[in-house]
Amino acid sequence: CLISDEQNGHRALHILQEERRKQAQRSVLISCQVTTNEKKFLKYLSQHGDINKFFFYESYGLYAVVEFSSSESVASLLESSVIPSVSHECVVPFKSRLLWLRNHSLVDSGGQTSGLVCQAQTTTPINELIHRISTQESIEQQMMSLTEASQLTEENSRLRFLVCSLLEDIATAYFPECTITPFGSSVNGFGKLGCDLDMFLNLDNIKGRNMRLPKSGLSLEYQMKRANSERAVTQSILSVIGECVDQFGPGCVGVQKILNARCPLVRFSHQPSGFQCDLTANNRVAMKSTELLYLYGGLDARVRHLVFSVRCWARVHGITSSIPGAWITNFSLTMMVLFFLQRRNPPIIPTLDQLQQLAGPADKSIIDGNDCTFVSDFAKVQLQSNTETLEQLLSAFFEFYATFNFSRLSINIRKGKEQNKPEMSPLHILNPFETSLNISKNVNVTQLDRFVALCQESSWLSQQSRTLNPKKSTSGKNTAMPWGLAALLLPLQVDGIKGRKK
């Protein structure tokens, strides 16, 4: 899969992104009938050229993603496609690479399903997951199994890039050189199936921007609308794209233009993929954080396994939430895991300052006056030989934050050391690139206290032998009783306390 360190661990994220983006540009998304015959379907599409890769999945119906070898095939396929004529209804004649397969032959429409293999695009339900990992032999295996079950698949990753590409078609209509790529958990290696799709509209490549004017004689400049700030420009552009997605975007529903947020965005649901999408523009620092997380996740396999386990644990205990509020975010939680790993002895991952020192000239990056430079070449990073097991690390993580002096100290992955808090927010996690900011400013005392109490209980629990050893079911059935990581995902005392307080 895209983000597994085995395959791609040694390639910088932006190279991967570019490759995936090109694949997506050669791809189409087709809504099929359940009776679709795979062989006939492929034969029909192959008229337009060779197919590199395809898969089927279900989401409000059956869909296929088809990647051609060449983008001419896509053009040819679109050329042959028709605009639906629905009686008593009209359509907005905006053409995209989202299509519908019609079957006009009588033979196949007999109602029987064709037995197509569908790729799951959603996570395993929590109870099924608990059962599954309870059958594992070790906590280490439980954690790896949880990662395996939660992480984005190759297919889901392709689908994310494809949705970006469909949106890129909308944006390039007005800004031909712009790109839209995923960022955040869709590509940083820590995303789980079903996580939102954060999209980054990059306008930096627009030509003619830094062209030099001649010293003498005549020259021409484009007349362009002026704005007071880059933020205002971003708002303008997102406003138009948002309007277009709302009015034209097939399968795009619930479009909200949230243009007055700190980081203006357009939010919508893309029904054919099932993704909740957030489009932002020129959000370069967030792309840098994404690269940084991707690097950390690729340096040592334990990083991702620990993050997946902690995120899952946090979600089931209501530490994190999909609704914005005073909760700890997945992003903050990941920073806490990274910081914890930097504090091991010897450290499992280097500090951001160390990564900055390893940077080459091509890595140099200053964004709005902030130095966001760090190494992108995995090979340049030498790790220390820490041999702790995932089991030890999970338990140690809970202990670390069960006893952390949150009231006085700040979490700083740049230095890899606690620092005195510069301000009085309950939880202070330094924004790694805009170091005057706290990424967990939103967290209130109640939420922090719950986190600490859950760490305490989980720390205690993870040291009990009843937790540490596999249990056989007392009933005759062949199912295992929850133990190890699974036990930590069951309701805890603290969950009950919260319940009573309500």
Ligand X SMILES: Nc1nc2c(ncn2[C@@H]2O[C@H](COP(=O)(O)OP(=O)(O)OP(=O)(O)O)[C@@H](O)[C@H]2O)c(=O)[nH]1
Binding site for ligand X (CB under 6 A): 183-185, 188, 191, 195-196, 198, 285-286, 289-290, 329-331, 431, 439
Q: Decide: 133 and 485 in contact? Cβ < 8 Å.
A: yes
Given ligand X, a copy of itself, Mg ion, none, residue 290, with its beta carbon under 5 to 8 Å by kind, binds ligand X
Strand pairing of 62-68 and 179-183? unpaired
Nearest to residue 158, comparing CAs of 48, 335, 23? 23
| Count, residues near Mg ion per rule CB under 5 A | 4
Distance in Å, CB of 372 to a copy of itself, minimum = 21
Find the binding residues for a copy of itself in span 208-247 (CB under 8 A).
208-230, 232-233, 236-237, 239-240, 243-244, 247
Which residue has its beta carbon closest to ligand X?
Answer: 184
Q: Is the peptide bond before 346 cis (omega within 30 degrees of 0)?
A: yes
Q: Decide: 320 and 327 in contact? Cβ < 8 Å.
A: yes
Per-residue interface string for the shown chain with a copy of itself, residues 166-205, x marking contact by CB under 8 A: ----x--xxx---------------------------x--
- CB-based contacts of 289, cutoff 8 Å, min separation 6: 188, 331, 432, 433
Per-residue interface string for the shown chain with a copy of itself, residues 71-100, x marking contact by CB under 8 A: ------x--xxxxxxx--xxxxxxxx-xxx
Please identify, using beta-carbon distances, which residue of 184 and 250 lies nearer to Mg ion: 184
Distance in Å, CB of 383 to ligand X, minimum = 23
Q: Tokens 């603290």, residue?
A: 494
How far apart are alpha carbons 392 and 482 in whole angstroms? 19
Nearest to residue 481, comparing CAs of 463, 469, 493? 469
Query: Can you tell me whether residue 386 is helix, strand or coil?
Result: coil
Distance in Å, CB of 274 to ligand X, minimum = 14
State yes or no: residue 182 binds Mg ion (CB under 5 A).
Answer: no
Please identify, using beta-carbon distances, which residue of 96 and 269 lies nearer to a copy of itself: 96
Find the binding residues for a copy of itself in span 27-46 (CB under 8 A).
30-31, 40-41, 44
How far apart are alpha carbons 54 and 60 in whole angstroms? 19
Distance in Å, CB of 184 to Mg ion, minimum = 4
Please identify, using beta-carbon distances, which residue of 282 and 459 lies nearer to ligand X: 282
Please identify, using beta-carbon distances, which residue of 236 and 356 lies nearer to a copy of itself: 236
Distance in Å, CB of 174 to a copy of itself, minimum = 6
Please identify, using beta-carbon distances, which residue of 187 and 381 lies nearer to Mg ion: 187
How far apart are alpha carbons 94 and 313 in whole angstroms? 44
CA–CA distances in Å: residue 133 to residues 139, 149, 250, 465, 467: 9, 10, 40, 18, 13
CB atoms inside a 10 Å sphere around CB 166: 25
Nearest to residue 193, comparing CAs of 85, 119, 299, 82? 119
Looking at beta carbons, which pairs linking 425-430 to residues 24 or more positions away fall under 8 Å? 427/328, 427/332, 429/332, 429/335, 429/336, 429/339
Given ligand X, a copy of itself, Mg ion, none, residue 330, with its beta carbon under 5 to 8 Å by kind, binds ligand X
| Count, residues near a copy of itself per rule CB under 8 A | 73
Given a copy of itself, Mg ion, ligand X, none, residue 81, with its beta carbon under 5 to 8 Å by kind, binds a copy of itself
Please identify, using beta-carbon distances, which residue of 211 and 424 lies nearer to a copy of itself: 211
Q: Which residues bind Mg ion (CB under 5 A)?
A: 184-185, 196, 198
